[in-house]
Amino acid sequence: MSEEKKYKTIMLIDDNEIDNLINQKIVEASNICENIFSHTGGKSAIEFLKNMEKIASAIEALPEVIFLDIDMPLMDGFQFLEEFEALTDATKAHCKIVMLTSSINPQDMNKSQKYPFVKKYINKPLTQDNLRKLEL
């Protein structure tokens, strides 16, 4: 019998495609989820989530965990959080956000804590150890 996966779906949002690829490999190796979606920008990720909301049965397909980079062009992590806040309560309850960033600026950490759906703040790089210890 295969071990039960901790999460059905995880989403990675990072404008750096190499980081996304590395993080995807780390998530896959840790074997904690069935599906991994990755987006190279906040805008495409928000559009994806909005489209999923329109499908009644899609709440299950929404990612339980979203790893979000802060420093991205067009729409940074905080702009993403502003947009995310406008999504349905069901979506916000289902998706837990983990800030995954190279920023060591305490202001960024404090700012991210203003959002109830941001559950953790992790400094890059993502590690299997971070994932194992992830309690959301």
Per-block mean pLDDT, blocks of 10 residues, the chain (136 long): 78 96 96 95 96 84 96 96 96 96 94 96 93 87
Backbone region of residue 74 per phi and psi (left: phi > 0; alpha: psi in -120 to 50; beta: other values): left
The rounded radius of gyration (Å) of the Cα atoms in the chain is: 14
Residue 15 falls within a domain, yes or no? yes
Cα–Cα distance between 30 and 26 in angstroms, integer?
6
Residue 109 falls within a domain, yes or no? yes
Q: How many angstroms from the chain centroid is the CA of residue 134?
A: 13
Q: How does strand 96-101 pair with strand 65-68?
A: parallel
The tens digit of pLDDT for each residue in 4-24 reads: 789 999 999 999 999 999 999
CB 112 within 8 A of CB 121: yes
Residue 1 falls within a domain, yes or no? no
Nearest to 44 by CA among 70, 19, 11: 11
> Residue 104 belongs to what domain range?
7-132
Number of domains in the chain: 1
Here the CATH number for the domain that contains residue 81 is 3.40.50.2300
Residue 2 falls within a domain, yes or no? no
Residue 37 falls within a domain, yes or no? yes
| Predicted model pTM | 0.94
Q: What is the mean pLDDT of the chain?
A: 93
Residue 115 falls within a domain, yes or no? yes
Angle between helical axes of 42-54 and 77-85 (0-180°, round to 10)? 20
| Half-sphere exposure of residue 125: CA atoms within 13 angstroms, side-chain side | 13
Residue 104 falls within a domain, yes or no? yes
